[in-house]
Amino acid sequence: MRRRALAIVSLLLAGCAGPSAGVPTWVTWSAQDLPARVDAVVFADGTRIDRVGRMTLGSWSAGFGSQAPIAEWQPNAAGNRIIKVQELRCHNAIVGEVRCDLLLNQPRSGAPGCGFDIYAPQALYAVVTCPTTLELQR
């Protein structure tokens, strides 16, 4: 009886995890899901970029500006899923505040890759671990 109960609990837990457990939510989106305003960008380590939270990128930090950023689908010839979160703001003690975008790239095969385009006087690209979730305004 105990073994059967454990088997049922295991099946229930597996069902709650769902087939996409561990897969970032944005990986399954298509052009029909976007554009949309973003309420938050959430990373596996608990980092959250939103109206209050910022992410540190070396000597830079990334966060929201006065308006919520916009996530847009970026078409490409290679067939990759690319989502650009536009209108973020990046800050550096020397340069000040500049526009930055978060690029989320899911190639046809292989692991996703993500990074920030920072539009400073010398353009920068900061590679980051991909977020697990983009919380969109609906």
Report which residue type is found at 73. Answer: W
- The per-residue pLDDT for 22 is 65
DSSP string, 76-121: -TT--EEEEEEEEEEEETTTEEEEEEEEEEE-SSS--EEEEEE-SS
d(CA 72, CA 34): 6
Confirm if 25 and 132 have CB atoms less than 8 A apart.
yes
Please say if the pLDDT value at position 17 is more than 60.
Answer: no
Please say if the pLDDT value at position 14 is more than 50.
Answer: no
Share of the chain above pLDDT 70, in %: 84
Q: Which of 46, 42, 35 is closest to 137 using CA atoms?
A: 35
DSSP 109: S
d(CA 100, CA 117): 5
Please say if the pLDDT value at position 130 is more than 50.
Answer: yes
* 33 Cβ contact list (under 8 Å, min separation 6): 73
pLDDT band for 13, please (50, 70, 90 cuts).
very low
- The per-residue pLDDT for 65 is 94
d(CA 130, CA 41): 10
| 37 bridge partner residues | 70
Please say if the pLDDT value at position 110 is more than 90.
Answer: no
- Tens of pLDDT along 23-74? 788 888 888 889 999 999 999 999 999 999 999 999 999 999 999 999 999 8
